[in-house]
Structure 1
Amino acid sequence: MSNINQLIIEGCFNVESATPKGTYFQNLSDQSVRVKFSAAGQWTYNPNVGFHSAAGHPNYPKGTENYKLPGSPEGSLIVRRANGSFQYVGTEATIELNPMEIVSFVCNDDGVWGEVGGHYDNQGCISVIWALQMQDKYAQLRDFLTAEKWQEADEETARLMLKSVGRDFEGSFERDELSKIPCSLLKDLDKIWLFASQGRFGFSVQKEIWESVGGSPQTEDTAIAEGFGNRIGQYTNGNWVYYDDLTFNLSAPIGHLPALWWRRSWVNAGFAYPIDSLVQRLSTCKIS
């Protein structure tokens, strides 16, 4: 199994010392993340004292009460959090950002006059490199697909889908829950399956087949469901193939997988052919 279970995302931005509102940065994730910020370059909050790094001027290590962050070096790089408080960054800091939080990086200067402060005579720019590590929730799925363990990958797909609506792996979907699966999750899963199977398996493939046999986003017709099952190799000779007897390799018919999530929901939740509910969600999410 691969040891790669984290996604490393990085980028950079500049902070002008003369900009009192600073440079904005947002955590676009729906979860808290730890971001490492590394600052390089020189600027000054006062031309009379010379240029210095983002750590602040070495001769003025503690800003007075008039500064945005009193007690931190004058001219240092600081960040304004969403709650209005300030935090020291300097040349390097790791900060935990709340879901969707927007922060602003700014020079620690005199703030007694509000946003204007003493920034009018500031000079220079600091370059900030940011990097965050997020757990790759698809790592297990990628490992299974890379190893061509198609049934295990199918089970992992069902687990991720069920987890997204608050159900455990042994559960099944109720009708209205399929409309609550995040579009981002469905898009990611579809792309991963398409890539691993060279375009043979995935939700978008199944959606195309469903529509080709006369299905629509709101179709619960036995004949259409059986036609769909026949096309993907799961309904033969008037019977649905047992899940454990499906073909878990690339020789399976196009659209054969993923299957566990809807086969279990069909049996356990008591409503006919939940694939139509997923097709409706895929249409809403513009996945095709």
Structure 2
Amino acid sequence: VIQKITSNNLVSEVGVDYTKLHYLLNKKKWKEADKETWDILCQLFGRPSGYYLKLNDIKTLPCQDLATLDQLWIKSSGGRFGFSIQSRIYQEVSEDYPSFCDRVGWPVYNPHVMDSAFNFNLKSPIGHLPSRRWVGGYFDWWRHIEILTIKLKECG
């Protein structure tokens, strides 16, 4: 069940303001909303904007903030985009990362120009956004969807 998101229930465990993201998503400004999502993820960990988050960061995402981000994306996209949508797809392909990338329309490897790898519109495959451009790490960055899936299960 998709709950109604209003500016009064954009809840954060750590005081992050979701107003700008809510606005961008309502206006269907997908690219700007994707960047704002990255900025918010950085804020959640006290990191500077543009910081690449590691797997351990994902493991400690505040559950309420993860739920708020997810619900904002789900509601604004009519159920096409969101972290839980990506997690469901990952599980549907038996947690096979290349198959997951194929389903959501992502390249398996990170391109040099990250924005060129993503389509910021509703014609994108289900689960395409938010993008993974916020994920860092040398050898294990691709495990972000695995860790995110575990975190979503933990948060219930």
Equivalent in 27, 30, 34 of residue 150 of structure 1: 30
1:254/1:136 CA distance change after superposition, 3 Å? same
1:243 deviation in Å?
Answer: 2.8
Aligned counterpart in structure 2 of residue 281 of structure 1, from 143, 151, 156: 151
Question: Relative to total residues, which structure has the larger helix share, 1 or 2?
Answer: 2
Give the drift of 1:175. 2.0
Aligned counterparts of 2:13 and 2:18: Cα–Cα separation in 1: 16
Per-residue deviation, residues 54-100 of structure 1 (Å, max 9, x unmatched): xxxxxxxxxxxxxxxxxxxxxxxxxxxxxxxxxxxxxxxxxxxxxxx
Alignment match, 1:229: 101
The sequence identity of aligned pairs, in percent, is 33
The aligned counterpart of 1:161 is 41
Report what 1:139 is aligned to.
19
CA contact (8 A) 1:190 1:204 kept: yes
- 2: distance between equivalents of 1:252 and 1:148? 13
Aligned to 1:209: 89
**Structure 1 residue 244 displacement after superposition:** 1.3
C-alpha separation between the residues in 2 aligned to 1:157 and 1:214?
27
What one-letter code is carried by the residue in structure 1 that aligns with 2:137?
A
Q: How many residues align?
A: 144
One-letter amino acid of the structure 2 residue matched with residue 282 of structure 1? L
Paired amino acid for 1:228: F
User: 1:240 offset after TM fit, Å?
Assistant: 5.6
Partner of 1:193: 73
- Asked whether 1:244 is paired with 2:115, we answer yes
Conserved 8 A contact 1:197-1:250: yes
* 1:272 has 2:141 as partner: yes
Based on CA coordinates, which of the two structures has the bigger radius of gyration? 1
Where does the alignment leave 5 or more consecutive residues of structure 2 unmatched? 1-6
CA apart distance, 1:146: 1.7
Q: Distance in 2 between matches of 1:30 and 1:229?
A: 31
Contact 1:7 1:136 in 2 (8 A): no
SS of the residue 1:263 aligns to: coil
Q: Tell me which amino acid in the other structure corresponds to 2:125.
A: P
Which TM-score applies when normalising by structure 2? 0.82
Shift of 1:167: 1.2
Change (3 A) 1:178 1:136: closer
Deviation at 1:239, TM superposition (A): 6.1
**For residues 253-264 of structure 1, what are the structure 2 equivalents within 5 Å?**
253-259=125-131, 262-264=132-134
